[in-house]
Amino acid sequence: MNVGNWLHDLPGVLMRDLGRYHRALALSGPGHLSDPRGWIAICNRIETLTCDDRETGVRCDWAWGSGLHAPGILPHLGAHLMRAALTEWPIKFASQPVVIAERPKLSFIFAHSGSERLQQLRQTIRSVFAQQEVPCEVVVVDQSPQPQLGMLPAPVTYRHLSKEDVPQGWFKSWAYNVGARLATGSVLVFQDGDVCVPARYARELVDTIERRGHAAASVQRFLFYLSQVDSQSVQKSDTFASGMRPILIFQNWKGGTIAIRKDAFTSIGGFDEGFVDWGGEDDEFYDRCAAVGHCRNGYLPFVHLWHPPQPDRKLSSNPNIAEVMPWRLSLPREARIAEISQRNFGNSVRPDPMLSYKAQHPS
């Protein structure tokens, strides 16, 4: 943000945001765990949150993800918010799974390609290894030109996808579906390889799905984006320094992490393999999860490790965002489920359809 915009926005933040941030943060800490008035209640002025006495957390009543504005003007607010969230829900790291059982209850599934984000993927896997109370497995489906199992923490279930007879592109949905077939847990967690998870995340998912009866769960509240320097520090030290200031705090996002019972995943057709390259597949899958009972009350923090941005991912010119996703979401949910369920999704030989939506409908 340039100086002119900062000076323009500063008075409003001081008058209308500073006090409510301080009040919410004052209701955070040991005596206010998951208090709906505490840190999880912070949002932008124009946004509205809904609380449900039957559920933990809050639901965002707007369609798309948004970044918190005030911490961009007063960065110390972001530092205090992240510290409050990670104090209540710490993120830890382990070189081996903390909980070991004959059969995992949860399967964390990662889609990966290349070497650029291997460090972030390794660190994220180590946050999954640190899950408490619930046995978890890690499944990595890799689209790199050459297999990279030796570069990953052990133990992981690993599948390398050959793309010799597949069109060029990033096939995240295909990889996720292949991973779902490999998974042995009754609950699947589709996880981005650059988003570290709280140590009690698996426990909360089990509670949400098994005890409270939801088939799918998106219980994330905030995603704290770290700078390059802070990300490197975490990867070296396995700790989050108290002075870290996130460069962005995001909320109400559809991707990054989502959990669903394996049977429910199959019943709605898995991820739509027609989405190829960046964008759209998470939003479309999120929409279909409503058909099986989707908990969208958020109360957990996650941390995004820095990497060079994907240049065209969120551009309005990205055809997956500008054309494919609106087209698919305009179709009735049940019609999409019926169509996708008939496909051979998760076949490790080739995606179905072979030709991506954006290739089928060029601009």
Give the pLDDT score at 316.
63
DSSP-based three-state secondary structure for 89? coil
Look at 18-22, 202-206, 213-217, 306-310 and tell me which has the smallest mean pLDDT: 306-310
pLDDT band at 152 (very low <50, low <70, confident <90, very high): very high
Helix (H) or strand (E) holding 58: strand 58-60
Range of the domain at 168: 106-213+255-293+319-360
- What mean pLDDT comes out for the span 14-40? 88
Based on the fold, state whether residues 324 and 224 are members of the same structural domain.
Answer: no
Q: Tell whether 307 is covered by a domain.
A: no
- Per DSSP, helices labelled H in the chain are 3-16, 18-26, 70-73, 75-88, 118-129, 172-182, 201-206, 228-237, 262-267, 281-289, 319, 325-330, 333-341, 357-360
For the chain, how many structural domains are there in total?
A: 2
Based on the fold, state whether residues 52 and 72 are members of the same structural domain.
Answer: yes
Q: What is the DSSP string of 300-325?
A: EEEEEPP----TTTT-TT-HIIIIIH
| CATH number reported for the structural domain that contains residue 160 in this entry | 3.90.550.10
Q: Tell whether 180 is covered by a domain.
A: yes
Cα(9)–Cα(72) distance, rounded to whole angstroms? 10
Q: Tell whether 228 is covered by a domain.
A: yes
Q: What is the DSSP string of 109-131?
A: EEEE-SSTTHHHHHHHHHHHHT-
Based on the fold, state whether residues 140 and 10 are members of the same structural domain.
Answer: no
- Greatest CA separation for the chain: 60
Q: Tell whether 101 is covered by a domain.
A: no
- Do 264 and 292 touch, CB atoms closer than 8 A? yes
For residue 166, give the nearest of 17, 354, 327 by alpha carbon.
Answer: 354
Cα(361)–Cα(363) distance, rounded to whole angstroms? 7
Q: What are phi and psi of 166, to 5 degrees?
A: -120, 140
What tokens were used for 340?
Answer: 């996708």
Please give the model's pTM, rounded to 2 decimal places. 0.95
Based on the fold, state whether residues 204 and 71 are members of the same structural domain.
Answer: no
Based on the fold, state whether residues 201 and 286 are members of the same structural domain.
Answer: yes
**What average pLDDT is seen over the chain?**
94
Based on the fold, state whether residues 285 and 193 are members of the same structural domain.
Answer: yes
Give the pLDDT score at 362.
60
Cα(317)–Cα(324) distance, rounded to whole angstroms? 11
Based on the fold, state whether residues 114 and 80 are members of the same structural domain.
Answer: no
Based on the fold, state whether residues 193 and 236 are members of the same structural domain.
Answer: no
Based on the fold, state whether residues 194 and 270 are members of the same structural domain.
Answer: yes
Q: Tell whether 10 is covered by a domain.
A: yes
| End-of-domain residue from the set 253, 271, 301 | 253
Q: Tell whether 32 is covered by a domain.
A: yes
Spell out the residues 6+ positions from residue 224 whose beta carbon is closer than 8 angstroms to its own: 78, 82, 85, 246, 248, 249, 301, 302, 303, 304
Based on the fold, state whether residues 32 and 174 are members of the same structural domain.
Answer: no
Give strand pairing partners of 300.
220
Based on the fold, state whether residues 209 and 341 are members of the same structural domain.
Answer: yes
Q: Tell whether 152 is covered by a domain.
A: yes
Based on the fold, state whether residues 159 and 191 are members of the same structural domain.
Answer: yes
Q: Tell whether 308 is covered by a domain.
A: no
pLDDT tens-digit readout, 314-347: 566 789 999 999 999 999 999 999 999 999 999 9
